[in-house]
Amino acid sequence: MVEKTRIVVVDDHPLFRSGVVQTLKADPDFEVVGQGETAAEALQLAKKELPELLLLDIDIPGGGLNAAEAVASACPATKVVMLTVSQNEENLAAALRAGARAYVLKGVAARELSRILLSVRAGEVYVTPALATHILFERELTPSSGRRPSADDDLTVRELQILEQLADGKSNREIGEKLFLSEKTIKHYMTNVLQKLHVNNRVEAALKAQRSGFPKKKA
């Protein structure tokens, strides 16, 4: 029997929180082990239950960003997922700096939310693609020269294909299915891509790729 992913949901809108909780309870992959309304409750529940995932609204009393940072520090095994209506650039950047592993906009379909949560549990980092594209990708410039960096420096054709799929928000498994490669092979390629682009994670790689406009190398 596959072990369920234990999750805590913290949102100060009872009706919305109840809907999310019911959705997760109906999914055999998840077990909701706690729910709350404030940043203090988020930290308390994280310490008490040690869930794999903590689903947080950014605008809860006490601040979702404060909660994310506190939980990331006190319970590093718990992965924080922000579920919010905020499309504010500073909130997105601050959430990632605070230790959140995903930034998801409310209104996401139940099946897609489940997919995102499972990918985060597996170690992926996720930002809603449309939000990242429209808010971050087009505005980021290198501070020194003002020139958009080239994401394809020293990348192979295959690595560029993987990078493009990554920026679309796809997981390693989905990229493997698209390119007819194993997930293990994709992980190997991904390690090379991160090193070549001099970035720390998948989100930074996707941002850098989009800023470059995905220039294509010829085979």
User: Do residue 174 and residue 198 come from a single domain?
Assistant: yes
User: Do residue 77 and residue 120 come from a single domain?
Assistant: yes
User: Do residue 149 and residue 124 come from a single domain?
Assistant: no
Structure tokens of 124?
């992926």
In the prediction, which pLDDT does 52 show? 95
- How many domains are there within the chain? 2
User: Do residue 184 and residue 154 come from a single domain?
Assistant: yes
pLDDT digits (tens, 9 = 90+) for 173-187: 889 998 888 888 888
User: Do residue 32 and residue 58 come from a single domain?
Assistant: yes
pLDDT digits (tens, 9 = 90+) for 96-106: 888 899 999 99
* Nearby residues of 16 by Cβ (< 8 Å), 6 or more positions away: 106
- Measured between alpha carbons, how far is 212 from 219 in angstroms, rounded to an integer? 19
Containing domain of residue 56, as a range?
A: 5-136
Identify the domain boundary among 111, 136, 161.
Answer: 136
Q: What is the pTM of this model?
A: 0.64
pLDDT digits (tens, 9 = 90+) for 50-62: 999 999 999 999 9
pLDDT digits (tens, 9 = 90+) for 128-159: 776 665 554 444 433 433 434 444 456 777 88
User: Do residue 128 and residue 164 come from a single domain?
Assistant: no
